[in-house]
Structure 1
Amino acid sequence: MDSMALQTFTSPVVLFFLLGLLAAFARSDLAIPEALAKGMSLYLMAAIGLKGGVAVSKSGFDATVAAALGAGIAAGFLIPIVAFWLLRGFGRLDRINAGAVAAHYGSISVVTFVTAVEILEFQGNPAGGYMVAVMATMESPAILAGLLLARGFGGQDGQGLKSMLHEVFFNSSVVLLLGAFAIGLLGGEAGFADVSPFFEAGFKGVLCLFLLDMGLIAARRIMDSRAVTWRLATIAIILPLVNGFAGVALGTFVGLDAGSSAALGVLCASASYIAAPAAMRLALPEADPGIYLTMSLSITFPFNVLVNIGLISAFASMIAPGAGVLP
């Protein structure tokens, strides 16, 4: 486990994220232009979707893939319920804000997943390509569950519900991930060969720069925010910790290998700060973004990248079949 933790902290993507945190806390003027950051985000989602589709085209759709999808969808529905109960009780949030935050913690962070995939490959324990499809399917159930917890079935008029559902199912993350996954699935390894120089060679470098930007944003939001209490900050650490280990256990139970179980654990541990905030702005405009964004982006995201991915990977290597053996 010590070797795995050391590998996590010596991964360049984690070190670039740490550099961003330190630069922001030191009040450096280092910044990534917003247009460039958005372009890098699109590149990363397209690359991970393509590679996932190619991997599934090689392995085929079987019972393992179906089990992983079922586990991901179930987790997407169940995690917001647990989060909502904790946020209402220990966190002392009102129903609307508790539902909004719960949706974020049931949903997923694409960047956390991509970072984890890179670290797992760095450790020699890669996740199955089909986990990209699992990631894409977890987003919508969580947002719907959070909305229902916050307002119930009667909380939206027809037009508002239509707009919210459109945002949930057709937001940029879901469309690009599933679209790129389908392209990789249809094109296969031969089709991917034509574009692999672009999507393979630059992937790690772009991810490092993107994590640098995320470190800057997370640290600056922490310094500026006053909306999150110590109770909510505690929840923002406890939820990803418990959800991550539960996700690994669930993956192991349904028969996933160690790398894929770790990836499922990371998905369960992550919290959305792109798709879920966009959906909540439409569906729950009265919810406080200062709460759900600070918790997901400024507390949970750094905790996952710096600490929890390593813990989840180590736990998966202990209990899941086919675990990689570290030096």
Structure 2
Amino acid sequence: MDIVTEIVTTILAQLQKPTLAFLIGGMVLAALGSKFEIPDAIYKFIVALLLLKVGIGAGISVREANFVELAVPALLAAALGISIVVLGRFTLSKWRGVSQLDATATVGLFGAVSASTLAAGMAVLDDEGIAYEGFIGALYPFMDVAALVTAIVLARLATARKAATANVQGGTITMGGGTGGPAVEKGLIRGILVDTARSPAISALLLGIALGLFARPESVYASFYEPLFRGLLSVLMLIMGIEAWSRLSELKGVAHAYLFYGITAPLVHGALGFGAGLIAHHLTGFSAGGVVLLSIMAASSSDISGPPTMRAALPEANPSAYVGTSTGLGTPVAILSIPLFMALADWFVGF
């Protein structure tokens, strides 16, 4: 009974937070037939500001961290982000009726990191008096950017391959085989990588990271980006809620796939993160608290940088699928899993 109460309490708390509350608000407006809308130019401006803010904050965190201590956990975090996307893409997309594009966007968010879930994990450890590395926040961009870029590249690569195959007269292209196969594949991947790096969303994110690393943007970050952040994010989620409702009908018949993935993926990903944390512990003395937080980062799904990045980079993907699954299901499960990973870390490492 206590577990049920805790689950219900956690879900209600998530419903009251701006990220999910404004998303639902937008869906309600759309369901009621409201003509409310935000001009596309304003939407793009908001996305640019949000991603610049996320990037600058991440760059500052990385710059202030000890490079030697950060290197191993950072590489493992990036590998986790990539692995979660690749694993999820070849599982979720196998469900009958699930669009490969929607599946890739969804797993991209699950490979990225939820700042609010990470903050919740830190708060729990602080309350318990459990120590962890001060650079933990700096691991965020490594996992986050790696997952988002991997998802976008895989989605665009699949789209490009499909288009190339459809355009061939009298046969099909065999990528990686036949005359010119490897050259075509190499050129295609290079083009997708360049195109992804130049896309507005990833460009803003990478620019922010570079500014945080090599400039001194703390004053403008604290006086401009930080105060505006929550308000702009609420407007963005309102827009995505309206769009999500308009495309909700596309999920009929495959909703069970996203339900299953949203509930099980955080636990699987958290286990992967726990394993990576143990590797870091044995290689560098990474603390038990750090192992817990790396597990929580892997279990979480992006609620800040992910949705606008996917919306801008993959406009054809259905936000009802990727936002609903990650924020509506993945976040509560990830938060509820925090005690599990604390118990595992105490068992294997010891606080």
Query: What TM-score, normalized to structure 2?
Result: 0.70
Which of 206, 229, 240 aligns to 1:178? It is 206
Q: Which residue of 1 aligns with 2:237?
A: 211
Which of 321, 325, 345 aligns to 1:299? It is 321
Structure 1: which amino acid aligns with 2:115?
A: V
Contact 1:258 1:317 in 2 (8 A): no
CA RMSD after TM alignment: 3.4
Task: Please report how far the alpha carbon of residue 107 of structure 1 lies from its aligned counterpart in structure 2 after TM superposition.
Answer: 2.7
Structure 1: which amino acid aligns with 2:300?
A: V
Unaligned runs of 5+ in 1: 279-288, 323-327
SS at match of 2:137: coil
SS at match of 2:22: helix
2: CA distance, partners of 1:11 / 1:228: 25
Q: Which residue of 2 aligns with 1:169?
A: 197
1: CA distance, partners of 2:117 / 2:16: 10
Contact 2:117 2:334 in 1 (8 A): no
Q: Which residue of 2 aligns with 1:103?
A: 104
**In terms of mean alpha carbon deviation, does 58-67 or 175-184 score higher?**
58-67
2: CA distance, partners of 1:243 / 1:18: 23
Q: Which residue of 2 aligns with 1:79?
A: 88
- What per-residue deviation string (whole Å, max 9, x for no partner) do you get for residues 115-148 of structure 1? x324654784697232123211123434555546
- Map 1:145-294 to 2 at 5 A: 145=154, 147=157, 152-153=175-176, 163-187=191-215, 191-222=217-248, 225=249, 227-230=250-253, 232-255=254-277, 256-267=290-301, 273-274=310-311, 277=314, 289=316, 293-294=317-318
Contact 1:8 1:14 in 2 (8 A): yes
Which of 34, 54, 57 aligns to 1:51? It is 57
Which of 3, 22, 25 aligns to 1:16? It is 22
Which of 32, 35, 40 aligns to 2:41? It is 35
Task: Please report how far the alpha carbon of residue 218 of structure 1 lies from its aligned counterpart in structure 2 after TM superposition.
Answer: 0.7
Contact 1:247 1:268 in 2 (8 A): no
1: CA distance, partners of 2:231 / 2:302: 26
Task: Please report how far the alpha carbon of residue 102 of structure 1 lies from its aligned counterpart in structure 2 after TM superposition.
Answer: 4.5
Task: Please report how far the alpha carbon of residue 228 of structure 1 lies from its aligned counterpart in structure 2 after TM superposition.
Answer: 4.3
1: CA distance, partners of 2:199 / 2:266: 25
Structure 1: which amino acid aligns with 2:199?
A: N
Q: Which residue of 1 aligns with 2:145?
A: 136
**In terms of mean alpha carbon deviation, does 5-14 or 171-180 score higher?**
5-14
Considering only CA atoms, is the larger Rg found in Structure 1 or Structure 2?
A: 2
Contact 2:23 2:240 in 1 (8 A): yes
2: CA distance, partners of 1:104 / 1:60: 33
Contact 1:106 1:139 in 2 (8 A): no
1: CA distance, partners of 2:269 / 2:302: 6
Query: What TM-score, normalized to structure 1?
Result: 0.74
